[in-house]
Structure 1
Amino acid sequence: MRLEQIYPTVRTFETVVADMKEQQGYWVALEKSYFYPESGGQPADRGTLNGIEVLDVQLIEGIVWHLLNSPLLGKTVHGEVDDAVRTDHAAQHTAQHVISAILQDEFQIKTVSFRTGSEESTLDLATDQWDEKLQNRLEERLRQVIVAGHVITATEYEEAEALALPLRKMPQVTGQIRVVQIGELDYSACGGTHLESTSELELILFTGQEKIRGNIRLTYVAKDRAFRLLTTERRVLSETARFLSAKKDQVRDVVDELKQDQIRLNRQVGQAEDAHVQTVLKQLLNGPEQILVLHHEQEDIRFSEKIGKALVEAGRTVLVWNEVAKKLLMYSTGRVHLGQFTKTHVKQFNGRGGGSETNAQVLFVTHEDALAFVEALEEELHT
């Protein structure tokens, strides 16, 4: 076992440099190191060497390499492992062991993969079904395991001895096998860092789920991450309730009512907008112009789009400048290939956009640039 596995509580140490290399950063190998290198979905430790920040730790061909943000000077090294980061990663990893053990033993759902993220951790499960009832049962069992305070140990066994244990996670190495045991709940071949007891997990919260390649991916947080999330969500809930002039347990009902009101308002706005489009359309179609250039100063872009589409359906070519969106909408009956014209000329007028033969859009910084582009297009259309 590596030193950080044998002595998991060590946070400061003295050593000397064994090797150095410069390869997309400054890498240092030490005579001895208590830093955990990234492995098995668990991120590397963080900390300092002689006060220089350790950005990454990797195990390459049996050597632990430390990535620094500046060169390390001198041969003697004082190392400090960031206790908060180590404890956080250990908590998320321990939570994974516990969740995976319960799901496999009691729900016959195996874990496919695991990753500790900077904010949330993920578990990919070999199932395509997940529901609230199953999650509630899992959460209840997790509370029981945390309260029970199962002792967590890591022991190195000869291969034959390790394989005789009821391993949930089989070893990926041969020879000496490190087995992490959580009471009688879980035996796993694992090289990661862990807490000393399930009681240290304190709290595990599930934050979401989604289907990934036929599996279910659960996201979760444990220990301090879980309490920070609870604090944030409580604050947001309190602020939302105060904003809505409602009690906390009434927020969902009030939001549902607001959503229904929004749907009704959107429907009414849409109906009024359609009526306005028909009125404007009737006025525009009364004239003889086959090429219409419109300037919408305050209209919503949806209104401009509806006008343009309606006019082209009536056989007119339409150029609509929408001041709010700084966008030129173009609709043609095919007299000029709008997409090709735009591609050829748009850059010289400081715009960007594109489109098809009969429909194109361009964003401009100024109305003047748009007008110059329109003049060039009108000349092409009249040719």
Structure 2
Amino acid sequence: MRSEQIYPDVRTFESIVTGTKEEQGYWVRLEQSYFYPESGGQPADRGTLNGVSVLDVQLQEGDVWHLLDSPLLENEVQGEVDDVIRTDHAAQHTAQHVISAILQDEFQIKTVSFRTGTEESTLDLDLGDWDETLQSRLEERLRTVIQANLLITATEYTEEEALQLPLRKTPQVTEKIRVVQIGELDYSACGGTHLASTSELELILFTGLEKVRGNIRLAYVAKDRAFRLLTTERRVLTETARAVSAKKNQVHLVVEDLKQEQVRLNRQIGQAEDLHVKTVLKQLLATDEPVLTVRHDQEDVRFSEKLLKALAETGRTGFVWNENAKKLFMCSAGSIHLGKFAKTHLKQFNGRGGGSENNAQAVFQTYEEAQAYAEALKEELHT
């Protein structure tokens, strides 16, 4: 086993540089290191060597290499492992062992993969569907396991000895095998860092789920991450309840009412826009101009799109500029293919966009550039 596996509580140590290299940064190898290198879905430790920040730690052909943000000036080094990050990673990894063990033993659900993220960790489960009943039962079992204060140990066995244990998966290594045991709940061949007992997990919260390649991806946080999440969500809930003048347990009902009200108002706005489009269109069609041009300085882009669509349905040629979106909408029933014209000429006017034969749209940096493009297109249409 490596030093950080044998002595997981060491946070400061002295060592000697035995190798250096430059590969997208400054890397050093030490005679002895207590930094955990990235592996098995668990991120590497962070910390310092002689006060220089350790940005990454990788295991290459049995050697532990440390990525630094600047070169070391001495061969003798004082190393310091960031205890907050080590404990956090150990908590998320320990939670994975516990969750996976319960799911497999009690619900016959296997874990496909695991990853510790910077904000939340994820488990990919060999499962097609997830429901609230399953989650409630899992959460209840997790509470009992945390309260049981199960001892967590890591022991190195020979391959023959390890295979006599009720391992959750067949080890991928041979000869010496490190087995992490959580009471009688779980025996797993694992090289990662872990807490000393399940009670140190304190709390595990599930934060989301999604379907990924036919599996269920379950997101969670443990220990300090879980308490920080609770604090943040409680503050948000308190502020939301105050904003909508409701009790905290009634906020979801008020939000649902507001959503329905928004749907109703959007419907009314849409109807009002449709009436306004008809009025504006009538005024435009009363002119004899060959190209109907409209400039919208304050209107929502949706209204500009509706007006252009109405113009197109009349068979007239029209340009609608929307200042807020810096976008020019165009329609024409003439002989010019608007999409092809856009592809050929937009770049010279600092525009980008495209379209079909009778409809196109383009974004410009300024109205003046859009106007110049429109004049060029008008000239082509007239020709």
Structure 2 equivalent of residue 217 of structure 1: 217
Structure 2 equivalent of residue 188 of structure 1: 188
What amino acid sits opposite 2:137 in the alignment? R
Structure 2 equivalent of residue 338 of structure 1: 338
SS in 1 for 2:207: strand
Cα displacement string for residues 57-106 of structure 1 (whole angstroms, at most 9, x for unaligned residues): 00000000000010111110110000000000000000000000000000
1:1-383 to structure 2, matched below 5 A, reads 1-383=1-383
The sequence identity of aligned pairs, in percent, is 76
Greater displacement, 87-96 / 282-291:
282-291
Greater displacement, 317-326 / 121-130:
317-326
Residues 21 and 27 in structure 2, CA contact (< 8 A), matched pair in contact too:
yes
Cα distance in 2 between the residues matched to 1:334 and 1:50: 74
Residues 201 and 222 in structure 1, CA contact (< 8 A), matched pair in contact too:
yes
Greater displacement, 164-173 / 216-225:
164-173
Measure how far apart 1:346 and its partner are.
2.0
Measure how far apart 1:356 and its partner are.
2.4
Cα distance in 2 between the residues matched to 1:366 and 1:239: 41
Residues 334 and 357 in structure 1, CA contact (< 8 A), matched pair in contact too:
no
Greater displacement, 329-338 / 269-278:
329-338
What amino acid sits opposite 2:351 in the alignment? G
Cα distance in 2 between the residues matched to 1:47 and 1:327: 50
Instruction: List, as ranges, runs of 4+ consecutive aligned residues in structure 1 with deviation greater than 4 Å.
Output: none
Measure how far apart 1:295 and its partner are.
1.3
Measure how far apart 1:345 and its partner are.
2.1
Residues 238 and 248 in structure 2, CA contact (< 8 A), matched pair in contact too:
yes
Measure how far apart 1:143 and its partner are.
0.3
Cα distance in 2 between the residues matched to 1:344 and 1:205: 55
Measure how far apart 1:250 and its partner are.
1.1
Cα distance in 2 between the residues matched to 1:333 and 1:54: 65
Measure how far apart 1:375 and its partner are.
1.0
Greater displacement, 137-146 / 167-176:
167-176
Greater displacement, 306-315 / 192-201:
306-315
Structure 2: tracts of 5 or more residues without a match: none
Cα distance in 2 between the residues matched to 1:218 and 1:282: 56
What amino acid sits opposite 1:339 in the alignment? G
Residues 206 and 218 in structure 1, CA contact (< 8 A), matched pair in contact too:
yes
Measure how far apart 1:334 and its partner are.
4.5
**Pairwise CA RMSD of aligned residues?**
1.0
SS in 1 for 2:303: helix
Measure how far apart 1:365 and its partner are.
2.1
Residues 124 and 217 in structure 2, CA contact (< 8 A), matched pair in contact too:
yes
Cα distance in 1 between the residues matched to 2:31 and 2:359: 68
What amino acid sits opposite 1:62 in the alignment? G
Cα distance in 2 between the residues matched to 1:356 and 1:58: 53
Measure how far apart 1:229 and its partner are.
0.3
Size of the alignment, in residue pairs? 383
SS in 2 for 1:263: helix
What amino acid sits opposite 2:276 in the alignment? H
Cα pair distance change 1:90/1:317, threshold 3 Å: same
Cα distance in 2 between the residues matched to 1:372 and 1:250: 56
Greater displacement, 212-221 / 162-171:
162-171
What amino acid sits opposite 1:208 in the alignment? G
Cα distance in 2 between the residues matched to 1:57 and 1:334: 65
TM-score normalized by the length of structure 1:
0.98
What amino acid sits opposite 1:178 in the alignment? R
Cα distance in 2 between the residues matched to 1:334 and 1:64: 70
TM-score normalized by the length of structure 2:
0.98
Residues 159 and 175 in structure 1, CA contact (< 8 A), matched pair in contact too:
yes
Cα distance in 1 between the residues matched to 2:40 and 2:13: 25
Residues 334 and 381 in structure 2, CA contact (< 8 A), matched pair in contact too:
no
What amino acid sits opposite 1:39 in the alignment? S
Measure how far apart 1:129 and its partner are.
1.2
Cα displacement string for residues 190-242 of structure 1 (whole angstroms, at most 9, x for unaligned residues): 00000000000000000000000110000000000000000000000001111
Cα distance in 2 between the residues matched to 1:72 and 1:223: 35
Residues 153 and 181 in structure 2, CA contact (< 8 A), matched pair in contact too:
yes
Cα distance in 1 between the residues matched to 2:115 and 2:332: 52
SS in 1 for 2:78: strand
Cα distance in 2 between the residues matched to 1:4 and 1:334: 75
